[in-house]
Chains A and B, each alone.
Chain A
Amino acid sequence: MNKRRCSTMEIMAVAAAREIRDREVVFAGTGLPMLATMLAQQTHAPDCVIVFEAGAIDPRMLHLPMSVGDSRTLVGAAQAAGLFEIFNYVLQGGRVDVGFLGGAQIDRYGNINSTGIGPDRQRPAVRLPGSGGSADVAALSRRTVIIAHHQRRRFPLRVDYCTSPGWIDGGATRRAAGIYGGGPAAVVTTMGVIRYREPTKNPYLASYHPGIDAQQVQRETGFELDISEALETQPPSAEELDILRHQIDPERIFLK
């Protein structure tokens, strides 16, 4: 497959899918995380299990849901539960391996803002939807994968509001805040994939997408990113693209 023939969204969905291992329990939200998890199920991780915060557990979806409460999340599902079971038993009980997150701002340590932009918390310049389950997933999954649009203003040194804790201030600060497990493993962006070094939790560019170079990624990032070891993101295979386009999102609801 010629790499120019696939979109950024397709590259991201494939990169996100590769973060999932077989037999893992995946907490997925609307949009790209659903595409990624469904793709993983149809390729290298056939026995990974999706849970949705609105209540569906392990569905075999035939059509893409437009929100996590959608009836489409119930087709072939193992269980239809509710928020009480999902948040208490599945998430807080420590049973989620990978949680997907998104947000308007992502900072140096993978903290996420999905509450409001601007210095005045009571009168934000832009009011965002709020945490929903995002902060819960960020704190309680074994690891998280963040999906983000890569622009300098979206990658500030520090978020205006910490909705969902990442590595907080780096080092051991996450643990000191009372958060026992988890933390961001990867940020899959429109330009590449960022990961974090041990034990400082300083970010580094693991890969840049085809058609983009590492310096470009640094220019669009509002904090210092170690780009010394960055490689090109492995492009989607013909099989992965075929599954995404023809089986997972033929209606083109999320794929652009």
Chain B
Amino acid sequence: MRNKVLKLDEAASWVHSGASISIGGFTSQRHPTALLRELIRQRVKDLTVYYHSAGSDLDLLIGAGCVHRLEGAYLADGVFAPIAPNFRRFVESSRIEFEDYTNAAMMARFAAGAMGLPFLPTRSMLGTDMMPGRQGSSVEPGKTAGRSGCKALEMACPFSGELLALVPAVRSDFCLLHVQQASANGLLRIEGQEFLDVQQALAATTVIATCEELVDEEILRREPERNRIPSFAVHAVVPVPFGAHPHGVHNHYDYDPEHLRRYNTAAKSDAAFAEYLEQFVFGAASHDAYLQAVGGPERLAQLCPCQGVGYNPLLKRSV
């Protein structure tokens, strides 16, 4: 078995400017946020990001000026941000390229990439302004993911005649994930919802997984039905406890409402967000320094699950 364990800065240095990536997790859950902060510190630029329902993980990269192009479905953070603030500002001021799909369409695109297929059909997207040729589409040949330069294509099923939308596969250079447990060899265990992590990982050339716990592979192999991503699909493993903060990790810690509010307030303007980055990314030059900056062990203890559920029922969430 190979040892794929790297340090956070070493793993981040793999991701070059101009790369295409996808990020695991969903809105406020299980993002590899510590790894994203390290990408920002290393001044990675011009990323193309494929996503389904992202939150302040991707919004952080956008606000830090790391992203050139977006293809995805949703960027917001539940109660904390009805619209992801940096995303909104960057789109409204034409600072970023974007192409809209639906969650089902992005699921089909990642699944196609994972299955080695060039496209998949979906019943979604039909009748919406996301379809090319409709008023709302912004398709420009050569700029979309498909080699044909086509965002999506309406087609009658050759068997039944039913109308379907075909969407091109995503094949990204990197997939960045955060999971509960990993072995040094890269076998990954996910607890709670998988979101779309498995398909995103298998649709990427290189997978970097940060994890809460590095565990002996023999322990993971005792319950193979709980393991989700095989080691041959994973290229780097980085143990990063609290590596998703301010987002939550089922069975490990809750999302941090205080910090997410702070983030979403700061992300509403360039000036305030520059200060946020200075305080929590550049000024806190390591993950340990970041955890101190957000309140240290005392705050982190308040996020830990109790009462037999995978979150903290006593956490103060409303303002």
Contact = CB atoms under 8 A, between A and B. Distances in A.
Interface of A: 30-31, 53-56, 62-63, 65-75, 80-84, 87-88, 91-92, 115-116, 121-136, 139-140, 161-165, 168, 174, 177-180, 251-254
Contact of B104 (A65, A87, A115, A124): A87
Contacts of A70: 28-29, 78, 248, 255, 311
Contact of A139 (B77, B84, B124, B309): B124
B104 A84 contact: no
Nearest to B315: A63
Interface in B124-157: 124-130, 134-138, 154
Contacts of B196: 82-84
Contact of A130 (B100, B122, B255): B100
A92 B127 CA distance: 16
Contact of B198 (A68, A82, A136): A82
Contacts of B88: 126-127
Contacts of B73: 130-133
A115 B53 contact: no
B75 interface: yes
Interface string B27-58: 11110000000000000000000001101000
Given A54-B53, A84-B198, A131-B73, 8 more contacts: A54-B29, A71-B248, A84-B199, A115-B136, A123-B94, A132-B53, A178-B126, A178-B163
Contacts of B305: 71
Nearest to B156: A178
A84 B91 CA distance: 29
A252 B127 CA distance: 38
A63 B257 CA distance: 15
A128 B197 contact: no
Interface string B1-40: 0000000000000000000000001111110000000000
A67 B255 CA distance: 11
B193 interface: yes
Contacts of A174: 127
Contacts of B79: 30-31, 66-67, 253-254
A68 B27 CA distance: 8
B279 to A, nearest CB: 24
Contacts of B84: 129
What class of interface size applies to chain B in its complex with A? Answer: 35 or more
Interface of B: 25-30, 52-53, 55, 72-80, 82-84, 87-88, 91-92, 94, 100-105, 107, 111, 122-130, 134-138, 154, 162-164, 192-199, 248, 250-251, 254-255, 257, 305, 309-311, 313, 317-318
Contacts of A163: 100, 128-130
Given A82-B194, A84-B107, A178 B162 contact: yes
Given A30-B79, A83-B107, A126 B126 contact: no
A129 B103 contact: no
Given A129-B84, A136-B102, A54 B193 contact: yes
Contact of B195 (A54, A116, A133, A168): A54
Contacts of B313: 62-63
A112 to B, nearest CB: 10
A74 B250 contact: yes
B317 A164 contact: no
A66 to B, nearest CB: 5
Given A82-B194, A129-B83, A53 B136 contact: no
9 contacts: A62-B309, A63-B313, A74-B193, A83-B107, A92-B122, A130-B72, A161-B136, A177-B163, A179-B126
A178 B154 contact: yes
A72 B174 CA distance: 30
A82 B197 contact: yes
A133 B72 CA distance: 11
A139 B136 contact: no
A64 B112 CA distance: 34
Contact of A178 (B107, B127, B129): B127
Contact of A71 (B92, B198, B310): B310
Contact of A55 (B55, B136, B137, B195): B195
A83 B136 contact: no
Contacts of B254: 71
Contacts of B80: 66
A164 B128 contact: yes
A128 B98 CA distance: 13
Contacts of B74: 129-133
A30 to B, nearest CB: 5
B179 to A, nearest CB: 13
